[in-house]
Amino acid sequence: MSKNKSEKLQKILANAGLGSRREIEKWIAAGRVSVNGSIAELGERATDKDTIRVDGRVIKIKPSDEVYTRIIAYHKPLDEVSTQKDPEGRPTVFDKLPNTKFGRWISIGRLDINTTGLLLFTNNGELAHRLMHPSYQVERKYAVRIHGQVTDEMLDNLKSGVLIDGDMCNFNYIQPGGGEGSNQWYEVGLSEGKNREVRKLWMSQGVDVSRLIRVQYGPIELPKALSRGRWMDLSEEQIKQVADLVDLEVQARKSQPKKRSTKNKNIWKKTIN
């Protein structure tokens, strides 16, 4: 955004990583946003030369040619919670993330404290909103270790649909992943990712989930070289691939970002050993 070009407030603040455009529209309607000291109205436009405040706090706005979308992949370990801060003082998935030059990190979905694997974070609020919204049907894939005897009837139920908390839920697909006796691995995919949906689906069939690892979100797989508790930047090509999935044009950083990773063996083999 140059000094001669204005853009809608919700777009400016979403690009700054404050939230989705829809969320920010609600802030504007509630009178939480001001421009140059005056309460903003829906549809109002501004430039990077204007003073924009949210809840009285000045928001630093960069010109559009300096604004870029960044996505990082994080390998979540056990015992971290997917919130910015935890009242019980437990470690969070945000603790080890790098600093951002503008905005804030937004988690694209969540993983519960006992689930490990791929978490994506972005500084683009609109992109995060679309990737999580059910209307875009972005598939998540998980490696699941099941304790208990799994029958063909159970698998048919899980693919055709089970009523969970008043909603009909199902896996897009289920593939066997090996294992012995009553401990079997499966790879499953689903497109909405409601709270603890994978665990609840299996529990509805009378079996327990003893391990759960997210191995893919949309087109992005958990990098084989990424150790637990580490993060790495997605490439410009990967970011475009993710944005195209939800029909959003973004500007990614041109230079190759640094990667924070260590070498690991194949992630699927690692999960079942």
Return the active site residues. 112
Instruction: State how far the Cα of 192 lies from the Cα of 187, in Å rounded to an integer.
Output: 16
Instruction: State how far the Cα of 158 lies from the Cα of 208, in Å rounded to an integer.
Output: 14
**Residue showing tokens 């070289």:** 225
Q: Is 37 helix (H, G, I), strand (E, B) or coil?
A: coil
How many CB atoms neighbour CB 65 within 10 A? 9
Angle at 32 between CA 65 and CA 30, to 5 degrees: 120
* Segment holding 137, helix H or strand E: none
Instruction: State how far the Cα of 21 lies from the Cα of 11, in Å rounded to an integer.
Output: 6
* Segment holding 29, helix H or strand E: helix 21-29
Give the C-alpha distances (Å, rounded to integers) separating 156 from 159, 160, 184.
5, 6, 17
Buried b (16+ CB within 10 A) or exposed e, 130-166: bbbeeeeebbbbbbbbbebebeeebeeebeeebebee
